[in-house]
Amino acid sequence: MAASYWDSHCSRNLVSKEQLENSHAEDRLLGLTREHIQQLNAFFCTSIAELAKQLKLRQRVAATAMVYFRRTYLCNNYCRMDPRLVYVASLYLACKAEESLVQAKHLVGHAKSYRKWPYDVKDLLDMEMVLLEDLDFNLIVFSPYRDLVTYLADSGVETPCAQRAWGALNDSYRSDVNLLYPPHVVALGCLCLAAGSCGVDLSAWLGKLNVDLGQVAAVVTDLTAMYAQQVAVLTLEECNRLIELVGTRWDSSAAGSGERRHQRVNVV
């Protein structure tokens, strides 16, 4: 890995599983279970990917937006910030960070047509400022895509296995692995998961790498668990019901960038 990753990202943005377990404390007090929170995280990350595809944005832009969304809710709760506004603002901010600029009014127009989005340009721009503060203005996200390209070439796996690895990497943003592990470990975990499903033995090749294989195995385990949990994917109606369960505090005034006042609305 390049030194720039370790200098500017690793120590600041990777979190522990304990930190993840302690997030959304207020939401859980208001009735959301950990399973609900995992499902909502996956739902909004999928929404980011779908909206980015509608806008014909690169996958890397969507991936960066998903990381912003997940990092924002490490220190915030759904009951304080409506995720239906945050996911669009995360994509808007990622467009700027990844130099794929989209006008705010253009994004709002697509968001409204995509899911009858009830906010306006001012709401989007206000939330952009909130996200910048909550992310501590640290917008650099190192993605695993370049590492996966390197590993695919070096391992010599055939096309079907490579395609599965790419699919696993795109899906990984709906899990916690990109918050927990360095990009090269995530990329290698996705390749190992794909190899296992294709019956490809990479053990000899893996033995030559200077990588923490325990972390790689943990990525495989987490991704396998994610796929098992996606049997019950949230519908839009179920998402709205869960968000409205905890959304009673959006119209209250509170100090702090993560507790700004937002109008309570329904998405249909």
Is residue 6 a part of any domain in this protein? no
Angstrom distance (rounded) from CA 78 to CA 203: 42
Same domain? 174 vs 154: yes
- What are the pLDDT digits (tens) for 17-39? 888 888 999 999 999 999 899 88
Same domain? 98 vs 175: no
Average pLDDT over residues 227-239: 79
Same domain? 49 vs 113: yes
- Note the pLDDT of residue 242: 92
Structure tokens at 14: 């990777």
- What are the pLDDT digits (tens) for 60-115? 999 999 999 999 999 899 999 999 999 999 999 999 999 998 999 999 999 998 88
Report the candidate in 34, 35, 24, 65 with the shortest Cα–Cα distance to residue 47: 65
Q: What is the CA radius of gyration of the chain?
A: 19
* 116 φ, ψ (degrees, to nearest 5): 45, 50
Same domain? 132 vs 252: yes
Is residue 66 a part of any domain in this protein? yes
Is residue 266 a part of any domain in this protein? no
Same domain? 192 vs 72: no
- Note the pLDDT of residue 6: 59
Same domain? 136 vs 107: yes
Is residue 8 a part of any domain in this protein? no
